[in-house]
Amino acid sequence: MSISSIFPAGNSPRFSRIRRLALPVFAVALFLQLDCSSPAPVQTPIKIDYADAAEGRWVDSLFNSMNEAERLGQLFMIRAHSDKGPDHIQTVENLINKHHVGGLCFFQGTPEKQAELTNRYQALSPKVPLIIAMDAEWGLGMRMVATTMSFPRQLMLGAISDNQLIYDMGKEIARQLLRIGVQVNFAPVADVNNNPANPVIGFRSFGEDRDNVAAKSMQYMKGMQENGVLACAKHFPGHGDTDVDSHFDLPVIRHNMARLDSIELYPFRELIKEGIGSVMVAHLHIPALDDRPNRPTTLSRNTITTLLKEKMGFDGLVFTDALEMEGVAKHHKPGVVEAEALLAGNDVLVLPKDIEAALREIKAYLKDGRLQQNQLDASVKKVLRAKYRVGLTRFSPIPSAGIKEDLHTASAEALRRKLIENALTLVRNQDTRLPAPKAGNIAALSIGAKEKPVFTDFLTKGNTTLKTFAVQADPSEADRNQVLKSLKSASLVIVSLHGMTNSIKKDFGLTANARALVAELNKQNKVALVVFGNPYSLKFFDEIGCVLEAYDEDTLTQEVAAQVVLGQLQTKGRLPVTVSALSKYGVGE
């Protein structure tokens, strides 16, 4: 069930009549408290159309009714949680009441509590409803891990050939976001991840190929924006080739403009052509764009105004990345950060450290002429335009009943399964080891699982003669010798790797002893290796003749992987990254 009223930017007579009825009621009357049981209107596409006269009239009328504090407040988006107590809630309410903040970015909590708090916070801002955002790159489960659905991460999705499935996922994620009152998703990640050592993007990217990243980002964006949620391409101008996490320090990218233009900027350029509604700017130091020491792209006018807006033609909403991150905060003081971010060309200041300091510094910049009032006014109007496009000419309270049932539908689960089935990648299959024979001395060995894996359980149901073994993540020499002895006569050993991480510095959670056991088994037996984790880990297993890359370890992925091993499903995925000479981009059987 959709719950946000979207007034489209198109010229349909039917929706023009709706606008004429709704739009004359400006200011306080724009906030209309509706019965929560009222049927929700159909979502319509978000379009960037500055020629839309009705939108322009609404924006101008509302802007003219606002005082300076209300206008400045629109440029701030603050942190909100639904898993914190009364003190946090009071802090959010105080910032809404005192500074008229324009938006909230929700983090951890539950969908029911978030909907309740959204209704509560929106009631404090009747003149201009708050725009609500989330980082939901793989769905609500990115923030609400235990209570909502997670779709595959983008690197896993990068293995899929049928991009219509990515559109379908974007559409479903939009439906779920709107159900709990969220209008902006900080996704897709349009970074081209061509650095295996990247500590912050990695599995959040669609992979190393610019065309694959652009095509899948496009479908994800369209799936959301054609169904009422504003998409946000991040992290401009490209965070893929870094080995530093901008949450903790300022990464440096030393590529020249020719390289940046051909790789990093390419997906953003394609998304801009297709009407992406917003872009988020990363905290990166790129001397080719701005050679001032420790100057992040977030605070670089040459990066945002000259490159993004003027040269690339982007006229949508520009969000900063979180201003509390050390990539920007380490070298610049609160207040100065926000003023410099606006001067650079950002429209929305996301998660500022100190709003009071920010307002003081912004006003000082305005007074001495460093920041022009017309630029600031243009950003305020862009925020209002975005609110118009996502239906925030008024706020309809979010229905509280049935949220869990509305989010967890059979069709959403079926889509999740289909995505996984299309992503699993048979990297190599020497001697046609998979599917596993139905007869013979077949064994399964799990490494690193804390309890009996779903994968193993599913295998034994499909092959009752299969023998199962397990070792811990760091098996001792005695354990390895015992396993080798027990499996010596096996005609095929299906080895599954569990409990992996995404840290290349920690070898993706694979200990030296675990890797040694796989190598020793490979010398003794025919091995089919199933990797429930990051595909960059395949660099350790070039000697293994049969490798199934499963990307993740959730229950459904383990079930699907078992079906592949048993011959009940065929794989369709292709590796989205190059890992080694034998595990290259695009391989898959």
pLDDT tens-digit readout, 386-440: 999 999 998 999 999 999 999 999 999 999 999 999 999 999 999 999 999 988 8
Which strand (E) or helix (H) includes residue 385? helix 373-389
pLDDT tens-digit readout, 138-181: 999 999 999 999 999 999 999 999 999 999 999 999 999 999 99
> Is residue 285 very low, low, confident or very high in pLDDT (cuts 50, 70, 90)?
very high
Q: What is the pLDDT of residue 532?
A: 98
Residue 43 has pLDDT above 80, yes or no: no
pTM for this model (two decimals): 0.91
Question: The tokens of 165 are what?
Answer: 């499935």
Mean pLDDT of 523-533: 98
Where are the domains positioned within the chain?
Answer: 13-407, 424-565
What are the b/e assignments for 433-455, b being 16+ CB within 10 Å? bbbbeeeeebbbbbbbbeeebbb
Q: Write the class of the CATH domain 13-407.
A: alpha beta
Report the C-alpha gap between 511 and 135 in whole angstroms.
32
Q: What is the pLDDT of residue 159?
A: 98
Q: What is the pLDDT of residue 439?
A: 87
Give which of 1, 52, 50, 59 is closest to 30, Cα–Cα.
Answer: 59
Mean pLDDT of 489-510: 97
> Is residue 37 very low, low, confident or very high in pLDDT (cuts 50, 70, 90)?
very low
Residue 4 has pLDDT above 80, yes or no: no
Q: Check 135, 321, 347, 552 and give the catalytic one.
A: 321
Q: Check 49, 245, 247, 554 and give the catalytic one.
A: 247
pLDDT tens-digit readout, 326-385: 999 999 999 999 999 999 999 999 999 999 999 999 999 999 999 999 999 999 999 999
Residue 21 has pLDDT above 90, yes or no: no
Residue 46 has pLDDT above 70, yes or no: no
Active site residue 552: no
Rg, Å, the chain Cα set? 26
Q: What is the pLDDT of residue 31?
A: 33
Which residues on neighbouring strands pair with residue 425, listed in sequence order? 549
> Is residue 244 very low, low, confident or very high in pLDDT (cuts 50, 70, 90)?
confident
Q: What is the pLDDT of residue 34?
A: 32
Give which of 329, 336, 334, 333 is closest to 362, Cα–Cα.
Answer: 336
Is 513 exposed, middle or buried, given 0-12, 13-18 or 19+ CB atoms closer than 10 A?
middle
What percentage of the chain carries pLDDT values higher than 90? 88
Residue 545 has pLDDT above 60, yes or no: yes
CATH superfamily of 424-565: Glycoside hydrolase family 3 C-terminal domain (3.40.50.1700)
Amino acid in the structure at residue 564: V
What percentage of the chain carries pLDDT values higher than 70? 92
Angle between helices 373-389 and 355-367 (to 10 degrees): 130
> Is residue 3 very low, low, confident or very high in pLDDT (cuts 50, 70, 90)?
very low
Active site residue 321: yes
